[in-house]
Amino acid sequence: MKFGIVVFPGSNCDEDALHAARDLFGQEADYLWHKDTDLKGADVLILPGGFAHGDYLRTGAMARFSPIMAPVRAFAERGGPVLGICNGFQILLESGLLPGAMLRNRSLKYRCEHVHVRVEQNDTPFSSAASVGQVLRIPIGHGEGNYFAPSDMLERIETNRQVILRYTDAAGRLDDHSNPNGSVNAIAAICNEQRNVVGMMPHPERACEALLGGVDGRVIFESILRAVERPALQVAGRSR
Protein backbone atom coordinates (compact mmCIF):
# COMPACT_ATOMS: atom_id res chain seq x y z
CA MET A 1 0.00 0.00 0.00
CA LYS A 2 1.05 3.58 -0.50
CA PHE A 3 0.86 6.46 1.97
CA GLY A 4 0.46 10.02 0.70
CA ILE A 5 1.73 12.61 3.18
CA VAL A 6 0.28 16.03 2.41
CA VAL A 7 2.80 18.83 2.91
CA PHE A 8 1.67 22.43 3.40
CA PRO A 9 4.05 25.35 3.87
CA GLY A 10 4.52 25.17 7.62
CA SER A 11 3.89 21.45 8.05
CA ASN A 12 6.55 20.07 10.38
CA CYS A 13 5.56 16.51 11.18
CA ASP A 14 5.57 15.37 7.55
CA GLU A 15 8.98 13.72 7.85
CA ASP A 16 7.96 11.91 11.02
CA ALA A 17 4.87 10.54 9.30
CA LEU A 18 6.85 9.46 6.24
CA HIS A 19 9.49 7.88 8.48
CA ALA A 20 6.88 5.88 10.39
CA ALA A 21 5.10 4.67 7.25
CA ARG A 22 8.20 3.85 5.22
CA ASP A 23 11.00 3.02 7.64
CA LEU A 24 9.05 1.47 10.51
CA PHE A 25 6.19 -0.19 8.67
CA GLY A 26 7.92 -0.85 5.35
CA GLN A 27 5.26 0.78 3.20
CA GLU A 28 5.61 2.90 0.14
CA ALA A 29 5.18 6.57 1.04
CA ASP A 30 5.48 9.87 -0.79
CA TYR A 31 4.96 13.55 -0.10
CA LEU A 32 2.10 15.39 -1.77
CA TRP A 33 2.85 19.12 -2.04
CA HIS A 34 -0.11 21.36 -1.26
CA LYS A 35 -0.05 22.75 -4.80
CA ASP A 36 -0.24 19.28 -6.33
CA THR A 37 -3.53 18.22 -7.77
CA ASP A 38 -3.08 14.47 -7.92
CA LEU A 39 -2.59 12.01 -5.12
CA LYS A 40 0.11 9.93 -6.87
CA GLY A 41 -1.89 6.75 -6.40
CA ALA A 42 -1.93 6.90 -2.59
CA ASP A 43 -4.13 4.37 -0.79
CA VAL A 44 -4.18 6.32 2.45
CA LEU A 45 -3.61 10.00 3.14
CA ILE A 46 -2.06 11.63 6.18
CA LEU A 47 -2.40 15.36 6.86
CA PRO A 48 0.47 15.85 9.29
CA GLY A 49 1.01 18.24 12.16
CA GLY A 50 2.58 21.67 11.97
CA PHE A 51 1.40 25.19 11.28
CA ALA A 52 0.00 25.11 7.74
CA HIS A 53 0.34 28.52 6.07
CA GLY A 54 1.40 29.84 9.48
CA ASP A 55 -2.03 29.40 11.11
CA TYR A 56 -2.19 33.19 11.42
CA LEU A 57 -5.93 33.64 11.04
CA ARG A 58 -7.11 30.38 12.64
CA THR A 59 -5.43 26.99 12.74
CA GLY A 60 -6.02 25.22 9.45
CA ALA A 61 -8.07 28.09 8.03
CA MET A 62 -6.01 28.74 4.91
CA ALA A 63 -4.92 25.16 4.21
CA ARG A 64 -8.38 24.19 3.04
CA PHE A 65 -7.90 26.47 0.02
CA SER A 66 -4.73 24.67 -1.10
CA PRO A 67 -5.15 22.96 -4.51
CA ILE A 68 -4.42 19.50 -3.02
CA MET A 69 -7.57 19.73 -0.90
CA ALA A 70 -9.89 19.21 -3.89
CA PRO A 71 -8.53 15.71 -4.64
CA VAL A 72 -8.24 15.02 -0.89
CA ARG A 73 -11.94 15.81 -0.54
CA ALA A 74 -12.86 13.67 -3.54
CA PHE A 75 -10.74 10.80 -2.15
CA ALA A 76 -12.49 11.10 1.22
CA GLU A 77 -15.91 11.24 -0.41
CA ARG A 78 -15.35 7.98 -2.23
CA GLY A 79 -14.35 6.30 1.01
CA GLY A 80 -10.57 6.67 0.97
CA PRO A 81 -8.94 6.61 4.41
CA VAL A 82 -7.73 10.04 5.53
CA LEU A 83 -5.97 10.73 8.84
CA GLY A 84 -5.41 14.25 10.14
CA ILE A 85 -2.94 14.51 12.99
CA CYS A 86 -2.90 17.66 15.15
CA ASN A 87 -2.76 20.52 12.61
CA GLY A 88 -4.04 17.98 10.07
CA PHE A 89 -7.07 17.47 12.33
CA GLN A 90 -7.56 21.25 12.50
CA ILE A 91 -7.42 21.42 8.69
CA LEU A 92 -10.03 18.66 8.34
CA LEU A 93 -12.31 20.62 10.70
CA GLU A 94 -11.87 23.87 8.80
CA SER A 95 -12.44 22.01 5.53
CA GLY A 96 -15.72 20.61 6.80
CA LEU A 97 -14.50 17.04 6.31
CA LEU A 98 -14.98 16.59 10.05
CA PRO A 99 -17.56 18.31 12.28
CA GLY A 100 -16.69 20.89 14.95
CA ALA A 101 -13.91 23.39 15.56
CA MET A 102 -10.86 23.98 17.72
CA LEU A 103 -10.55 26.65 20.39
CA ARG A 104 -7.48 27.78 22.30
CA ASN A 105 -6.50 25.36 25.07
CA ARG A 106 -8.39 26.38 28.19
CA SER A 107 -5.05 26.96 29.97
CA LEU A 108 -4.00 29.20 27.03
CA LYS A 109 -0.71 27.32 27.16
CA TYR A 110 0.90 25.24 24.46
CA ARG A 111 0.88 21.70 25.87
CA CYS A 112 3.71 19.40 24.86
CA GLU A 113 3.65 16.16 26.84
CA HIS A 114 2.58 12.54 26.87
CA VAL A 115 -1.12 12.01 27.55
CA HIS A 116 -3.36 8.98 27.91
CA VAL A 117 -6.20 8.40 25.51
CA ARG A 118 -8.80 5.64 25.60
CA VAL A 119 -9.93 3.94 22.42
CA GLU A 120 -13.69 4.40 22.12
CA GLN A 121 -14.38 2.80 18.74
CA ASN A 122 -12.39 0.42 16.62
CA ASP A 123 -14.45 0.30 13.46
CA THR A 124 -12.41 2.90 11.59
CA PRO A 125 -9.37 2.30 9.37
CA PHE A 126 -7.23 4.06 12.00
CA SER A 127 -8.33 2.20 15.12
CA SER A 128 -9.22 -1.29 13.88
CA ALA A 129 -6.14 -2.95 15.41
CA ALA A 130 -6.93 -1.53 18.85
CA SER A 131 -9.43 -2.83 21.39
CA VAL A 132 -12.24 -0.68 22.70
CA GLY A 133 -11.20 0.52 26.15
CA GLN A 134 -7.49 0.18 25.41
CA VAL A 135 -5.47 3.06 26.85
CA LEU A 136 -2.70 4.52 24.71
CA ARG A 137 0.10 6.78 25.90
CA ILE A 138 0.87 9.17 23.07
CA PRO A 139 2.38 12.66 22.99
CA ILE A 140 0.52 15.85 22.18
CA GLY A 141 1.94 19.23 21.17
CA HIS A 142 -0.61 21.95 20.54
CA GLY A 143 -1.98 25.31 21.62
CA GLU A 144 -5.40 24.92 20.02
CA GLY A 145 -6.69 21.46 20.73
CA ASN A 146 -9.75 22.40 22.72
CA TYR A 147 -12.31 20.56 20.63
CA PHE A 148 -15.72 22.17 20.45
CA ALA A 149 -19.01 21.33 18.78
CA PRO A 150 -22.37 23.01 19.33
CA SER A 151 -24.66 20.87 21.50
CA ASP A 152 -26.81 19.51 18.66
CA MET A 153 -23.73 18.61 16.62
CA LEU A 154 -22.10 17.05 19.67
CA GLU A 155 -25.15 14.95 20.33
CA ARG A 156 -25.07 13.68 16.76
CA ILE A 157 -21.36 12.87 17.04
CA GLU A 158 -21.92 10.88 20.23
CA THR A 159 -25.03 9.11 18.90
CA ASN A 160 -23.18 8.10 15.74
CA ARG A 161 -20.22 6.82 17.81
CA GLN A 162 -17.88 9.24 16.06
CA VAL A 163 -15.64 9.80 19.08
CA ILE A 164 -12.61 7.57 18.54
CA LEU A 165 -10.31 8.64 21.40
CA ARG A 166 -10.93 10.41 24.72
CA TYR A 167 -8.40 11.83 27.15
CA THR A 168 -8.36 9.75 30.33
CA ASP A 169 -6.00 8.87 33.15
CA ALA A 170 -3.60 5.94 32.83
CA ALA A 171 -6.31 3.53 33.93
CA GLY A 172 -8.76 4.76 31.30
CA ARG A 173 -10.91 6.78 33.68
CA LEU A 174 -12.33 10.11 32.60
CA ASP A 175 -11.29 12.93 34.88
CA ASP A 176 -10.89 16.60 34.27
CA HIS A 177 -7.19 16.67 35.21
CA SER A 178 -6.43 14.25 32.39
CA ASN A 179 -8.02 16.52 29.81
CA PRO A 180 -5.05 18.61 28.63
CA ASN A 181 -6.92 21.26 26.68
CA GLY A 182 -10.53 21.44 27.84
CA SER A 183 -12.01 19.53 24.90
CA VAL A 184 -15.74 18.98 25.24
CA ASN A 185 -16.48 15.40 26.38
CA ALA A 186 -12.69 14.90 26.60
CA ILE A 187 -12.60 14.33 22.85
CA ALA A 188 -9.13 13.62 21.44
CA ALA A 189 -10.14 12.08 18.10
CA ILE A 190 -13.25 11.85 15.96
CA CYS A 191 -14.28 10.37 12.63
CA ASN A 192 -16.78 11.46 10.01
CA GLU A 193 -20.15 9.75 9.59
CA GLN A 194 -18.73 7.44 6.92
CA ARG A 195 -15.92 6.56 9.40
CA ASN A 196 -13.12 6.77 6.80
CA VAL A 197 -11.86 10.22 7.84
CA VAL A 198 -10.29 10.51 11.29
CA GLY A 199 -8.75 13.50 13.06
CA MET A 200 -6.69 13.16 16.22
CA MET A 201 -4.73 15.65 18.32
CA PRO A 202 -2.17 13.14 19.73
CA HIS A 203 0.79 12.27 17.51
CA PRO A 204 0.96 8.50 16.84
CA GLU A 205 3.91 8.98 14.48
CA ARG A 206 5.95 10.21 17.46
CA ALA A 207 5.13 7.11 19.47
CA CYS A 208 6.32 4.28 17.26
CA GLU A 209 9.82 3.69 18.63
CA ALA A 210 10.92 2.85 22.18
CA LEU A 211 13.77 5.31 21.71
CA LEU A 212 11.20 8.10 21.53
CA GLY A 213 9.54 7.14 24.80
CA GLY A 214 6.82 4.72 23.77
CA VAL A 215 5.32 2.61 21.02
CA ASP A 216 1.60 3.02 21.65
CA GLY A 217 1.17 4.95 18.40
CA ARG A 218 2.02 1.85 16.40
CA VAL A 219 -1.50 0.52 16.73
CA ILE A 220 -2.77 3.40 14.58
CA PHE A 221 -0.44 2.40 11.75
CA GLU A 222 -1.15 -1.29 12.29
CA SER A 223 -4.83 -0.44 11.89
CA ILE A 224 -4.15 1.22 8.54
CA LEU A 225 -2.26 -1.81 7.27
CA ARG A 226 -5.04 -4.09 8.44
CA ALA A 227 -7.77 -1.88 6.97
CA VAL A 228 -6.26 -1.73 3.53
CA GLU A 229 -5.68 -5.49 3.53
CA ARG A 230 -9.23 -6.21 4.64
CA PRO A 231 -11.69 -6.15 1.71
CA ALA A 232 -14.54 -4.53 3.64
CA LEU A 233 -12.58 -1.37 4.19
CA GLN A 234 -10.68 -1.47 0.93
CA VAL A 235 -12.95 1.00 -0.81
CA ALA A 236 -10.47 3.60 -1.91
CA GLY A 237 -7.41 1.52 -2.71
CA ARG A 238 -9.29 -0.58 -5.23
CA SER A 239 -11.77 1.83 -6.67
CA ARG A 240 -9.39 3.84 -8.79
Partner 1 sequence: MRARVFVTLKPSVFDPQGKVIADALHSLGYDGVADVRQGKYFELELSAADAATARTLAAEVADKVLANPVIESYRIEVD
Segment contacting partner 1 by CB under 8 A, of 91-99, 110-118, 198-206, 208-216: 91-99
Cβ 144 to partner 1 shortest distance, Å: 10
Cβ 107 to partner 1 shortest distance, Å: 8
Residue among 99 and 180 whose Cβ is closer to partner 1: 99
Q: Distance between CA atoms of 37 and 46, rounded to whole angstroms?
A: 15
Q: Does 22 bind partner 1 (CB under 8 A)?
A: no
Q: Any catalytic annotation for residue 86? A: yes
Segment contacting partner 1 by CB under 8 A, of 9-17, 104-112, 114-122, 167-175: 104-112
Identity of the residue numbered 228: V
Q: Does 24 bind partner 1 (CB under 8 A)?
A: no
Q: Does 213 bind partner 1 (CB under 8 A)?
A: no
Q: Does 57 bind partner 1 (CB under 8 A)?
A: yes
Number of residues in contact with partner 1 under rule CB under 8 A: 22
Closest of 139, 157, 151 to residue 201, by C-alpha:
139
Spell out the SS3 assignment of the chain. CEEEEEECCCECCHHHHHHHHHHHCCCEEEEEECCCCCCCCCCEEEECCECHHHHCCCCCCCHHHCCCHHHHHHHHHCCCCEEEECHHHHHHHHCCCCCCEEECCCCCCCEEEEEEEEECCCCCCCCCCCCCCCEEEEEEEECCCEEECCHHHHHHHHHCCCEEEEEECCCCCCCHHHCCCCCHHHEEEEECCCCCEEEECCCHHHCCEHHHCECCCHHHHHHHHHHHHCHHHCHHHHHC
Segment contacting partner 1 by CB under 8 A, of 94-102, 133-141, 192-200, 225-233: 94-102
Residue among 38 and 155 whose Cβ is closer to partner 1: 155
Residue among 146 and 168 whose Cβ is closer to partner 1: 146
Catalytic residue (one of 116, 144, 205, 208): 205
Q: Does 105 bind partner 1 (CB under 8 A)?
A: yes
**Residues in contact with partner 1 by the rule CB under 8 A:** 57-58, 61-62, 93-94, 99-101, 103-108, 146, 148-151, 153, 182
Active site residues: 86, 203, 205
